[in-house]
Amino acid sequence: MKKCRVFSGMRATGLLHLGHLAGALTNWVKLQEDHDCYYSIVDWHALMSNYADSAETGKFCKDVLLDWLSVGLDPEKSCIFIQSHVPQHAELFLALSMIAPLGWLYRNPTYKEQIENLQNKDLSTFAFLGYPVLMAADILLYRAEKVPVGEDQSAHMELSREIVRRFNHFFGGGKEILPEPQTLLTPTPKVPGTDGRKMSKSYGNSLYISESPESMWNKLRVMITDPAREKRTDKGDPDKCPVWDIHKVFNKDMGQRAEIDKGCRTAGIGCVDCKKMLNAHIASMMEPIHERRARYEKDPNTLDDILANGAKRAERTATETMSDIYPAMGLISRADRVV
Ligand code: ADP
């Protein structure tokens, strides 16, 4: 039976953290068992907001690749590649931009939010406005049926679906040239960072996947807890504690969790005790991940091969899609286009 096609991507903006692991990657690793998965390190997307500071984008691609492989994305099972290595992403982006209405793009809530929040960057560019058009191209190039994303990407997914409907309307003559992708929402709570806000690289509050156990503990040790619990003898409220939120994501020992909950509320245990238990769970979860990372790190040739093979495989599928799109749009497809 033909496996369901999945596409997802992450921007090449540097090392990934435990929020990425819980909010996306754990699910991606599961999906590759029974889906036909395409996972792309989207460097063009990274440039759309980081064009003024682009020198490290290549290094960030390698960082993401190593993080992905270390958590268990498997190049034998999934097609893993860098977006810019498959030029059809840029080609389909252009094709879709013919029919992408400016009104839709200006109304995109993420666009408005980022323009307001990232005031240290000039994001009033043609490319940044077109961010969701490139995302639609990424997905449609592989005719992906499902796209695993977090809640924060829902608006972009809806735009992708509207763009494909409009594309089919203009160029399909009633036929579906490209399928409408479905959103596969990853049901994970927001993982907080060490300051209690959403874990995010730009807040400097992240626990990184590649972080050593010592460094992880040094961050956890001083992490913010229930602010009302100032002294060891004060009773705490786990519901107001970001350390507890992380326990709920990574500590699978429900018996221990019940004990911690009670111990916190009665001041039976202190915050350091609670953090030590969390640290132990994270450390044991990270052990195989760090082992895998060390193996890959020793072998840069393998990393290059993975990227080369991934790009080749992705390009085959992308070429097939483009060879349907050219005639639909009234263009002459190159006769020697290799499929
Ligand atoms: P991008 O990789 O596009 O820059 P982000 O770095 O914000 O986007 O994260 C990519 C995905 O990882 C998000 O869509 C979300 O699913 C997940 N993610 C990121 N940070 C967190 C977090 N703190 N908690 C839960 N999930 C997160």
Task: Give the pLDDT confidence score for residue 188 in this predicted structure.
Answer: 75
Q: What is the helix (H) or strand (E) element at residue 215, kind and residue range?
A: helix 213-221
DSSP 2-25: PPEEEEEEEE-SS--BHHHIIIII
pLDDT, one tens digit per residue, over 160-218 is 999 999 999 999 987 999 999 999 987 777 899 999 999 998 899 999 999 999 999 99
Q: 148 forms bridges with which residues in the sheet?
A: 184
Domains of the chain with bracketed CATH:
5-191+300-336 (3.40.50.620), 211-294 (1.10.240.10)
Task: Give the pLDDT confidence score for residue 152 in this predicted structure.
Answer: 86
> Which residue, judged by its Cα, is nearest atom 9 of ligand 1?
20
Nearest Cα neighbor of 256 from 234, 288, 278 is 278
Task: Give the pLDDT confidence score for residue 339 in this predicted structure.
Answer: 60
Nearest Cα neighbor of 35 from 70, 79, 71, 92 is 79
Q: 5 forms bridges with which residues in the sheet?
A: 36
- State if pTM tops 0.85: yes
Ligand 1 pocket, Cβ-based, cut-off 6 angstroms = 10-11, 13, 19-20, 22-24, 149-150, 152-153, 186, 188, 190-191, 198-200
Contact assessment for residue 122 and residue 52, using Cβ atoms and an 8 Å cutoff: yes
Task: Report the mean per-residue pLDDT for the chain.
Answer: 96
pLDDT in single tens digits along all 339 residues of the chain: 899 999 999 999 999 999 999 999 999 999 999 999 999 999 999 999 999 999 999 999 999 999 999 999 999 999 999 999 999 999 999 999 999 999 999 999 999 988 888 888 999 999 999 999 999 999 999 999 999 998 889 999 999 999 999 999 999 987 999 999 999 987 777 899 999 999 998 899 999 999 999 999 999 999 999 999 999 999 999 999 999 999 999 999 999 999 999 999 999 999 999 999 999 999 999 999 999 999 999 998 999 999 999 999 999 999 999 999 999 999 998 887 766
Nearest Cα neighbor of 97 from 126, 55, 71 is 126
User: If you measure from the C-alpha of residue 20 to the centroid of ligand 1, how many angstroms do you get, rounded to a whole number?
Assistant: 5
> Which residue, judged by its Cα, is nearest atom 14 of ligand 1?
150
